[in-house]
Amino acid sequence: MAPRKIIIDTDPGQDDAVAILLALASPEDIEVLGITCVAGNVPLELTARNARIVCELAGKTDIKVFAGCDAPLERPLVTAEHVHGKTGLDGPTLPEPRMPLAEEHAVAFIVETLRDAAPGTVTLCPLGPLTNIARALQKAPDIADRIAGIVLMGGAYFEVGNITPTAEFNIYVDPEAAAIVFGSGVPITVMPLDVTHKALVTKARNDAFRALGTPVGAAVAEMTDFFERFDKEKYGSNGAPLHDPCVTAYLIRPDLFSGRHVNVEIETGSDLTLGMTVADWWGVTDRAPNATFIGEIDADGFFALLTERLARL
Ligand code: RIB
Ligand code: CA
């Protein structure tokens, strides 16, 4: 089967970095048409820097990296240096990027790519706030019917929030953008905290990254060593949750995941629950299902895939 053509929209972020590395290590499954950067974990200048650092770490300097929106649609930017460090990629010491940013704005690239490609052949993989995706849908409503699907990391239901008691960070930063995306009619698969909190980098799993004996293995282990302190302290968890790589792994091995096709609405009006993904898991409303909400993962299978693929870089 031909590799799936994707655009990764991202706010690196250590977990974004691992998601990008997994995609770049899997050419038989995934063709990365471009990486579009958005403000999120850290401001846009840093997410655009970090995405290029990751491409160079993978030895894939031919990948086009685009800068996109530097703030949410209607709200001031909220960042997460408390989780990812001041650079957004704290942990390993990696060289400043030498590959240039692409000239074009990320939103223009998304629209143009979808209009140029055959309908239903390009998948969007947002790993951060949904600002770029929403802007593209606002600018070019015609692309909605051309998108094969959106596989995103974001939201939470049974697991509740990580930035507020009810909201997950990516959705919380730009809830208006999320409402546009979830209301677009595009087939959506959601990797919420409900599943990503089951993809924990235990010591044994991180030792396996380090044991690869490669610059990529070492960098991923050092990113995890840094990234995990927040979740260990907050949740007492047994390692860092690898949120964003769940998106890439789903593209390669969807059988490692399971979920339910339900209605998911985004709270944009209440200060108390702003950014909450209200998933009608038990079908108690007549709201039409609009997303496949993933809740389960074969974590051992996930880490076996990830480690095997990272070894290729
Ligand atoms: O809530 C986790 C998400 O927020 C991940 O995508 C992480 O990178 C941050 O963007
Ligand atoms: Ca992210």
Sequence-distant (6+) residues with CB within 8 A of 88 are 11, 12, 13, 41, 42, 46, 47, 50, 81
Q: Tell me, what's the pLDDT at 228?
A: 87
Instruction: Tell me the C-alpha distance between 297 and 231, whole Å.
Output: 19
Helix axes 203-210, 215-235, angle to 10 degrees: 160
Q: Tell me, what's the pLDDT at 234?
A: 82
Instruction: Tell me the C-alpha distance between 23 and 278, whole Å.
Output: 30
Q: Does the global pTM surpass 0.85?
A: yes
What's the domain range around 234? 4-310
User: Looking at ligand 1, which atom is closest to the CA of residue 243?
Assistant: 5
User: Looking at ligand 1, which atom is closest to the CA of residue 168?
Assistant: 1
Q: Tell me, what's the pLDDT at 236?
A: 85
Encoded amino acid at 83, one letter: V
pLDDT over 90 at 182, yes or no: yes
Ligand 1 binding pocket, CB closer than 6 Å: 11, 13, 15-16, 40-41, 127-128, 153, 162, 168-170, 243-244
pLDDT over 90 at 188, yes or no: yes
Look at the alpha carbons of 298, 299, 305, 306 in this order and tell me if their dihedral is positive or negative: positive
Neighbours of 47 (CB within 10 A): 30
| Mutation pick for ligand 1 pocket among 201, 243, 276 (CB with most ligand atoms within 8 Å) | 243
User: Looking at ligand 1, which atom is closest to the CA of residue 170?
Assistant: 4
Instruction: Tell me the C-alpha distance between 144 and 180, whole Å.
Output: 11
136 and 143 Cβ atoms separated by less than 8 Å: yes
For 195-219, what is the mean pLDDT?
Answer: 97
Q: Tell me, what's the pLDDT at 233?
A: 83
**Catalytic residue flag (residue 197):** no
Nearest ligand to the C-alpha atom of residue 78 = 1
For 55-71, what is the mean pLDDT?
Answer: 98
Number of domains in the chain: 1
Averaged pLDDT of the chain: 97
- The domain that holds 107 is classified in CATH as 3.90.245.10
Per-residue pLDDT tens digits for 259-305: 999 999 999 999 999 999 999 999 999 999 999 999 999 999 999 99
51 and 89 Cβ atoms separated by less than 8 Å: no
